[in-house]
Amino acid sequence: MRRAVRFAAALAVVLALLALGGAAIVLGEADDSPGLQGIGVLVVIAAAVGALRWRGVD
């Protein structure tokens, strides 16, 4: 049960970071802000790397 809760929490964090990064990319493009787009890309990459490295091992 504890492992399922940890997995759900990690999944929620990764999905939230992906949504935040995607929103930053879209809003940065609408406002013509290359810095915000770059931050959005970095957030998406960090979320993807974190998800791939996370194994859920106790």
Mean pLDDT of 38-50: 93
Residue 44 lies in a domain: yes
Residue 58 lies in a domain: no
- How many domains in the chain? 1
Neighbours of 35 (CB within 10 A): 9
pLDDT of residue 57 exceeding 80, the answer is: no
pLDDT of residue 58 exceeding 50, the answer is: no
Identify which of 52, 48, 44 has the alpha carbon closest to the alpha carbon of residue 21.
Answer: 44
2-32 per-position pLDDT tens digit? 888 988 988 999 999 999 999 999 999 887 8
Residue 22 lies in a domain: yes
Rounded to whole angstroms, how far apart are CA atoms 6 and 28? Answer: 33
Q: What is the three-state SS of the chain?
A: CHHHHHHHHHHHHHHHHHHHHHHHHHHHHHCCCHHHHHHHHHHHHHHHHHHHHCCCCC
Domain containing residue 24: 2-53
Mean pLDDT of 35-43: 94
